[in-house]
Amino acid sequence: MRTLLLLLASTAVYAGPELMPMPAKMTVNSGHLTIDSSFRIAATGYRNARLDAAMRRMEARIFRQFGFATVLPKRTALTIECVAAGPDYPALGEDESYELDVTPDGARLRAPAVTGALRGMETFVQLIGADFHAPAVQIEDRPRFPWRGLMLDVSRHWMPVAVVKRNLDAMAAVKNMK
């Protein structure tokens, strides 16, 4: 009974968005950003093929998830500011930090490297609720651990390519992949 009361008390304290993993620092503000079929992503600063492909995948995922059709006019709802590329391949100690500010007028994602921008994009997708709104928040995040991953032993336990891709998408969604 005591454990149940502690569990209920701990879950009643937090009323913010459900994110996985929880950001290092998050402030929930009033209001929300509406996501509709005019949603677009724009990037300023450093851009490369990896970031451009991730932006296209994110837009397609949001449109597919909420059943939007592409219509005009386009409205930039998320602006990504990336300072530098970072390493081409995952590296221990790579800067994966980012800052995400969501307001009723739009969202701005700032990251020192492309990997941080990718992590922030996943957080933004997690913020979007079934009601097509993202709550107004300020998030400062960085990984708690220097290296994360999951072992897929496909040599001893054969898996179809679709299953491997699904696992990779799930790892990216919870920022568990470089």
- 34-38, 118-122, 136-140: range with lowest mean pLDDT: 34-38
Domains of the chain as residue ranges with CATH: 14-147 (3.30.379.10)
pLDDT for residue 47: 85
pLDDT for residue 176: 64
The letter for the amino acid at 157 is: H
Q: Which residues contact 76 (CB under 8 A, 6 or more apart)?
A: 40, 41, 42, 106
- pLDDT tens digit string along 63-84? 888 888 766 577 888 999 999 8
The model carries a pTM of 0.81
Res. 15: pLDDT tops 70: no
Backbone dihedral angles phi then psi of residue 143, each to the nearest 5 degrees: -65, 145
